[in-house]
Amino acid sequence: MSGGTFVGMPAFPKAAQEALGNAQLRHNLAHATGTIRAKRLRLIDEVNANSDWEALRLAGAGVKESALVDLATHLERLEETLTANGATVHWARDAAEANAIVASIAKGHGVDEVVKVKSMVTQEIGLNEALEAEGIAAWETDLAELIVQLGHDLPSHILVPAIHRNRSEIREIFLREMAAVGRPAPDDLTDEPAVLAAAARAHLREKFLRAKVGVSGANFAVAETGTLVVVESEGNGRMCLTLPEVLVSVVGIEKVVPTWEGLDPLLRLLPRSSTGERMNPYTSTWSGISPGDGPQEVHVVLLDNGRTNALADEVGRQALRCIRCSACLNVCPVYERTGGHAYGSVYPGPIGAILNPLLKGPGHDEQVDSLPYASSLCGACFEACPVRIDIPSVLVDLRAQVVDAHRGGVPKVEAVAFKGAAVALSDSRKLGLGERFTRVGLRVARRVGASKWTSARDLPPAPRESFRQWWKRTDGGRP
């Protein structure tokens, strides 16, 4: 999965159908997304009682946008400040380069293992597999990632990657797998979550205490101050960032935040949008090396791996604002019913449906090309997104690109329809845009004479009640 999509995964429709048959997965996902949705909404009401959530979203989107539109300047500044703080900055064009850099640092210290804190980007580049090929074990230390890793499994949700596993399965995985890679699970292990968490604590603690090299990602990288920020819950992040002698952080170039104060809206938006908490238990910031405190050798790998493709896409560029909160997953009717595995990528859900094709470009891979269709365009994702990424518009634009790519660059009538709809959508830029799409999109499609296409694709007449209205009214069709 070195490109970020799982090799060998069937394209979305087939994978989704398989997932739909898995009752356990559907039940767990519905419970998880429903719970997080409710917590998030309560907190937004709380913010609106003494402040303004929408203004906070605008500020958060603005901070990220201001970084992206002048990204080269901010990246050069980041390199300068990190270096002044004693960190070594590396650049990687793609996954292979980034993996090689991390592997060579680990080898340079003669280690055969590293401890890792959950990071989307290291999953995207397939770092664990690359290190394994070099004889270096990469221990995932986030509880869910540990469950996924020990279960030889794939993560199914950005935030709760093991949500497809229930407690008795987790108990079995721990009993079966822990002994082979370190401290075994106790014989009297029960399936109580607290007992399972305690087993993970004991299993991982010996790894933390002896680890020489830690590997992380970063949620934010502050250009002005040379500071990296990691947001987490369990404390495994703090362990990985603090105890090893050497720390390597792989950071996508879109993680840049221009100033220290720019962290403000983002640190308020992220935990509320992701876990539905006012603040996550732990946030760590570090600016290179602190004498006498933490790793005394600090590396930062700045990674492109397709991000500049996304940056060059006028409509799609905004996807790089994403702070990986997973709010869009939790409100997505398609995601709730199919689960993360159906997307065949480390980035599932609505954001995955746009980010994967943007990173890789259309027309290369059937799985990636099918992703922009993994949506009902209901607009709930845009409404939930703390940095106001207009996912429906990007999806529509990408569909046009996919169609173009398969026509060898000759626009087809449906491509024109999608383009038109994308423009109309981008212009509307406001809430309630889901409703507008169905009618606008179909109107555009008809205007350009897509009658054949619409009948072939079985497009219904623009409904009186939009999908999103229906979704709201029925709470996603729940009985």
Partner 1 sequence: MSARDDVLGRVRRALEGVEPGYAVPPSPRISPPADVVGLFVERVEDYRATVVRCTPADLTARVAEALPAGARAVVPDGLGVTVPGAVADTGLTAAELDAIDAVVTEARVGIAETGTIVLDHGPGQGRRAISLVPDLHVCIVRVDQVVPDVPDALPLLDPARPHTWISGPSATSDIELSRVEGVHGPRTLHVIVVD
281: contact with partner 1 by CB under 8 A: yes
Q: Which does residue 458 bind out of partner 1, ligand SF4, none, counting CB within 5 to 8 angstroms by kind? A: none
55: contact with partner 1 by CB under 8 A: yes
Q: 50 Cβ partners below 8 Å, 6+ apart?
A: none
The residue range among 222-230, 325-333, 335-343, 455-463 that interacts with partner 1, by the rule CB under 8 A, is: 222-230
**Per the structure block, which two tokens stand in for 336?**
């709730």
Residues that bind ligand SF4 (CB under 6 A): 273, 322-328, 351, 384-387, 389
Q: 314 Cβ partners below 8 Å, 6+ apart?
A: none
335: contact with partner 1 by CB under 8 A: no
Q: Centre a 10 Å sphere on the Cβ of residue 122 and count the other Cβ atoms it contains.
A: 29
- Crossing angle of helices 167-181 and 143-150, in 10° steps, is 70
Q: Which does residue 265 bind out of partner 1, ligand SF4, none, counting CB within 5 to 8 angstroms by kind? A: partner 1
Q: Which does residue 351 bind out of ligand SF4, partner 1, none, counting CB within 5 to 8 angstroms by kind? A: ligand SF4
Q: Binding residue for partner 1 (CB under 8 A) from 16, 121, 125, 204?
A: 204
Q: Binding residue for partner 1 (CB under 8 A) from 72, 410, 464, 478?
A: 72
DSSP label of 141: -
> Whole-number minimum distance, CB 450 to partner 1, in Å?
32
SS (H, E, C) 339-365: CHHHHCECCCHHHHHHHHHHHHCCCCC
Q: Restricting to residues 352-391, name those near partner 1 by CB under 8 A.
A: none
Binding residues for partner 1, total number by CB under 8 A? 97
Q: Binding residue for partner 1 (CB under 8 A) from 85, 123, 401, 438?
A: 85
The residue range among 24-32, 125-133, 374-382, 441-449 that interacts with partner 1, by the rule CB under 8 A, is: 24-32
CA 18 to CA 26: how far, in whole Å?
11
Q: Rank residues 254 and 404 by Cβ distance to ligand SF4 and give the closer one.
A: 254
Q: Binding residue for partner 1 (CB under 8 A) from 17, 24, 35, 451?
A: 35
CA 320 to CA 317: how far, in whole Å?
6
CA 240 to CA 236: how far, in whole Å?
6
> Whole-number minimum distance, CB 131 to ligand SF4, in Å?
27
160: contact with partner 1 by CB under 8 A: yes
Block residue for tokens 């819950």:
233
Q: Rank residues 105 and 450 by Cβ distance to partner 1 and give the closer one.
A: 105
Q: Which does residue 253 bind out of partner 1, ligand SF4, none, counting CB within 5 to 8 angstroms by kind? A: partner 1
Q: 205 Cβ partners below 8 Å, 6+ apart?
A: none
> Whole-number minimum distance, CB 194 to partner 1, in Å?
5
Q: Restricting to residues 167-186, name those near partner 1 by CB under 8 A.
A: 167, 170
Q: Centre a 10 Å sphere on the Cβ of residue 134 and count the other Cβ atoms it contains.
A: 14
CA 191 to CA 147: how far, in whole Å?
13
Q: Binding residue for partner 1 (CB under 8 A) from 133, 312, 431, 456?
A: 312
429: contact with partner 1 by CB under 8 A: no
Q: Rank residues 257 and 322 by Cβ distance to ligand SF4 and give the closer one.
A: 322
Q: Binding residue for partner 1 (CB under 8 A) from 225, 273, 274, 345?
A: 225
DSSP alpha helices (H): ranges in 109-246? 120-124, 127-133, 143-150, 167-181, 193-210, 236-242
Q: Which does residue 242 bind out of partner 1, ligand SF4, none, counting CB within 5 to 8 angstroms by kind? A: partner 1
Strand partners, 91: 302
Q: Which does residue 100 bind out of ligand SF4, partner 1, none, counting CB within 5 to 8 angstroms by kind? A: none
**Per the structure block, which two tokens stand in for 206?**
């010996």
Buried/exposed 232-264: b ≥16 CB within 10 Å, e otherwise: bbbebbbbbbbbbebbbbbbbbbbbbbeeebbe
Q: What is the distance in angstroms between the CA of the first residue and the CA of the last residue of the chain?
A: 38
Q: Binding residue for partner 1 (CB under 8 A) from 99, 274, 285, 426?
A: 285
Q: Restricting to residues 237-266, name those near partner 1 by CB under 8 A.
A: 238-239, 241-243, 253, 260-265
Q: Centre a 10 Å sphere on the Cβ of residue 479 and count the other Cβ atoms it contains.
A: 4
CA 248 to CA 102: how far, in whole Å?
7
Q: Binding residue for partner 1 (CB under 8 A) from 113, 142, 365, 404?
A: 142
337: contact with partner 1 by CB under 8 A: no
- Crossing angle of helices 193-210 and 167-181, in 10° steps, is 20
Q: Binding residue for partner 1 (CB under 8 A) from 249, 280, 338, 438?
A: 280
32: contact with partner 1 by CB under 8 A: yes
Q: Binding residue for partner 1 (CB under 8 A) from 136, 213, 267, 329?
A: 267
Task: For residue 265, give the amino acid letter.
Answer: P
On whether the CB atoms of residues 284 and 234 are closer than 8 A, the answer is no
The residue range among 221-229, 344-352, 384-392, 450-458 that interacts with partner 1, by the rule CB under 8 A, is: 221-229
Q: Rank residues 170 and 450 by Cβ distance to partner 1 and give the closer one.
A: 170
Task: For residue 272, give the amino acid letter.
Answer: R
CA 34 to CA 27: how far, in whole Å?
11
> Whole-number minimum distance, CB 165 to ligand SF4, in Å?
22
Q: Which does residue 263 bind out of ligand SF4, partner 1, none, counting CB within 5 to 8 angstroms by kind? A: partner 1
